[in-house]
Amino acid sequence: MAEALQSADIAIVGGGLVGMALALALRQQGIAAEIFEARQRSSALADQRILALSHGSRQILESLGVWSAISSTPIKTIHVSQQGGLGRACMTAVEQGVPALGHVAAASSIAAALDAAVATAKIVYREGRRVEQTHGTASGINLECAGDVIPTRLVVYAEGAIAADTAAVVRDYGQDAVICTARAELLSPNVAYERFTPQGPLALLPYAGQLAVVYTCPADQAVVLANLPDADFLARLQTHFGSRLTFLSVSPRQVFPLVLRYRKSPVATRCVWLGNAAQTLHPVAGQGFNLALRDVWELSRILAGAADPGAASVLSRYAAARRCDRRGVIGFTDGLIRVFGNPNPLLRHARGLGLMAMDLLPPLRGFIARRMMYGARAWP
């Protein structure tokens, strides 16, 4: 039998953005945790995604002491419209009394800031150490990792897709996202656009003087769309978006399948799942990483002072505390796709009326803006 190594009370499986954020949040609560990452530590620094961070996420990252090291572009206006129908709505930071509704940042920049803070805090980061199995014991749980048996009291899975088993709900939208950046004339530097079309939502996020593009389309068209010559892709993008901007150039494209997948419960015996390991959402409204950061913050708060971080009563409190926000965000993103993706002409008119009502009613606009910034509960 392999030698049993000593470990912290909490093992975080996954050393990406969510895992590192949790380790830092726990350290602030005086809780030691160790990170286990199957890849090399530098892998997170190569993450090419561009993420939308809500104002609430900025507050969390500020509390973790990493915000000042993250290069970001503020979003001061969000413009929502639908193709082929009346109605549009705008939400502004000025109206909500915040410096920005959110920010856009490269995942690599967030990872670099978190990684530097983890190193400064001397948090143990075990790179190249894949957790192969876990086994419950009378007082905790053992991790099997490269021949070692490592005892701990709580395992937090902060990375990896959810297995499509009985513990998960899966909905395939039949859509892919074509991801790229584009440059445009008439660009307002701090405006984000969410345009709903019959093929799926199109998001344009201000990022370092250009736009991060999330172009949703039917799955059987995505590869063809992504591989079009730049001029042809720009023409398709222009037609899809309309005339508010004139697109000039575009970067190479990547394709990602879109699916809703979430665990029915984010906890089990001495285990917690966070981020994509708990729920994978459609990127509409950019809620996935923001929800994960709120999960991180709440888990660290509930574990503070717990005699046994893996106790069933502790994990039940966490699951109960996150239930409203988690269900709300999953329902919100899924509902947007269902409502705005329905081609029924009557529903298209109803959507237009809804957007006009949102634009004419500040309380409704404020409610939606606050939910996007803070989730189901206002900060903190």
- What's the mean pLDDT in 98-114? 96
Q: Quick check: is 265 in a domain?
A: yes
* pLDDT value of residue 293: 96
Q: Quick check: is 113 in a domain?
A: yes
* pLDDT value of residue 354: 67
Please tell me the number of Cα atoms within 13 Å of 183 on its side-chain side: 7
Q: Quick check: is 378 in a domain?
A: no
Q: Is residue 156 a contact partner of residue 13, using CB atoms and an 8 Å limit?
A: yes
The better pLDDT of the pair 131, 366 is held by 131
The better pLDDT of the pair 344, 169 is held by 169
Could you identify the residue written with the tokens 């998001």? 203
* pLDDT value of residue 373: 76
**Each residue of 134-152: pLDDT tens digit?**
888 878 999 998 788 889 9
Q: Report d(CA 150, CA 142) in Å as an integer.
A: 5
Least confident residue range of 34-48, 264-278, 364-378: 364-378
Q: Quick check: is 22 in a domain?
A: yes
Instruction: With a cut of 80, say whether residue 98 has pLDDT above it.
Output: yes
Q: Quick check: is 35 in a domain?
A: yes
Q: Report d(CA 182, CA 256) in Å as an integer.
A: 18
Longest dimension (CA), the chain: 69
Residue 85's pLDDT band (cuts 50, 70, 90) = low
* pLDDT value of residue 339: 63
Count each helix (H run) and each strand (E run) in the chain, helices first: 10, 21
Contacts of 229 (CB under 8 A, 6+ apart): none
Q: Give the number of other Cβ atoms within 10 Å of residue 42's Cβ.
A: 10
* pLDDT value of residue 379: 43
- Residue type for position 8: A
Q: Report d(CA 216, CA 221) in Å as an integer.
A: 10
Q: Report d(CA 250, CA 260) in Å as an integer.
A: 28
**Positions of E strands within 158-244:** 168-185, 191-197, 200-207, 210-218
Instruction: With a cut of 70, say whether residue 74 has pLDDT above it.
Output: yes
The CATH number covering residue 127 comes to 3.50.50.60
**Each residue of 155-212: pLDDT tens digit?**
999 987 776 555 788 888 889 999 999 999 977 889 999 888 888 889 999 999 999 9
Alpha helices in the chain (DSSP H): 17-28, 55-63, 93-96, 107-120, 219-226, 230-241, 288-303, 312-340, 345-360, 362-374
Question: By CB neighbour count within 10 A (0-12 exposed, 13-18 middle, 19+ buried), where does 343 fall?
Answer: exposed
Q: What percent of the chain has pLDDT over 70?
A: 89
The better pLDDT of the pair 120, 145 is held by 120
Would the CA dihedral through 136, 142, 143, 146 be positive or negative?
Answer: negative
* pLDDT value of residue 289: 93
- Residue type for position 80: V
Q: Report d(CA 83, CA 67) in Å as an integer.
A: 36
The better pLDDT of the pair 170, 31 is held by 31
**Each residue of 32-45: pLDDT tens digit?**
999 999 999 999 89
**Each residue of 284-319: pLDDT tens digit?**
767 889 999 999 999 999 999 899 999 999 999 999
* pLDDT value of residue 2: 36
Q: Quick check: is 233 in a domain?
A: no
Pairing of strands 271-273, 267-268: antiparallel
Q: Quick check: is 63 in a domain?
A: yes
Q: Report d(CA 155, CA 168) in Å as an integer.
A: 19
* pLDDT value of residue 162: 74
**Each residue of 273-284: pLDDT tens digit?**
999 999 988 887
Contacts of 165 (CB under 8 A, 6+ apart): none
- What's the mean pLDDT in 234-243? 93
Q: Give the number of other Cβ atoms within 10 Å of residue 221's Cβ.
A: 13
Q: Is residue 117 a contact partner of residue 24, using CB atoms and an 8 Å limit?
A: yes
Residue 322's pLDDT band (cuts 50, 70, 90) = very high
Question: By CB neighbour count within 10 A (0-12 exposed, 13-18 middle, 19+ buried), where does 156 fall?
Answer: buried
Of 196, 192, 188, nearest to 81 (Cα)? 196
Q: Report d(CA 48, CA 175) in Å as an integer.
A: 21
SS3 213: strand
Q: Quick check: is 238 in a domain?
A: no
* pLDDT value of residue 380: 37
SS3 226: helix
- What's the mean pLDDT in 97-110? 95
* pLDDT value of residue 352: 61
**Structural domain that includes position 61:** 10-73+104-167+259-339
The better pLDDT of the pair 235, 133 is held by 235
Instruction: With a cut of 70, say whether residue 82 has pLDDT above it.
Output: yes
Q: Report d(CA 360, CA 345) in Å as an integer.
A: 23
Question: By CB neighbour count within 10 A (0-12 exposed, 13-18 middle, 19+ buried), where does 190 fall?
Answer: middle
Domain count, the chain: 1
Write out the two tokens for 281.
């959402």
- What's the mean pLDDT in 343-368? 68
